Structure 1
Amino acid sequence: MAKKALTVDDTTSMRKMVAFALKQAGFDAVEAPDGQAGLNEAKKQTFDLIVTDQNMPGMDGLTLIKTLRGLPQYQRTPILMLTTEAGDTMKAQGRAAGATGWVVKPFDPQRFIDLIKKITT
């Protein structure tokens, strides 16, 4: 049975690219267009990995991560921030929120897959 991953991004093409990479890494991917929709999906089913953007309408990625970390089923789940935000301050906020790792867009699909395998095995 394949592991399940959730990708949260307000850009459809980015969600599709991430979902494709996740499938290459052996995950079934579920897509959500914003943080609130991602949270709703995460409450409906449990995921083995979550990949979220930061800048989205409504609930942003940091808020999503903090909220997920407050749920018992996501206290240890790997959560990656995949965003254009590359500043040290934002990365520190991500770590404080509970992000497992940080990937800057645009991303190299093979390096992304390698990272996923590393943090989920």
Structure 2
Amino acid sequence: MIVVDSNVLAYLYLPGDLTEAAEALLEREPEWAAPPLWRSEFRNILAGYLRRGMLTFEQVCSLQAEAEALMAGFEFEVLSHDVLDLVRDSACSACDCEFVALARRFDVKLVTMDRKILKAFPEFAVALAG
């Protein structure tokens, strides 16, 4: 199991430069975990595509459902104390620290492309692509 941030899910479902890397990651590591926050963040990403006319309402609903199916059974709550502990010692947002807290809880890697997370938490965070 690995923890992935919401952008890694976006790379998987929304074609772009990192889609191949996300697909390869899923093939190597099929159990992706995240805090429930991923749902709202992913919906915000989809909302941008919808508002720019890049995807239809039906498409964004379908992509959200697909992502929810992928993550089913691998969404885990994190303790506020754990998140705030990470916030205290970094410049990362509380939202970002939720993903780090989950990786730390299960002693697994967090896959991300967020430079701030990669710099602040090298013991847990690894880049999707180099």
TM-score range (shorter-chain normalised) is 0.3 to 0.5
- TM-score norm. by structure 2 comes to 0.36
Structure with a larger share of its residues in strand: 1
TM-score by length of 1: 0.37
Larger RCO (CA under 8 A, 6+ residues apart): 2
Higher Rg: 2
Higher fraction of helix = 2
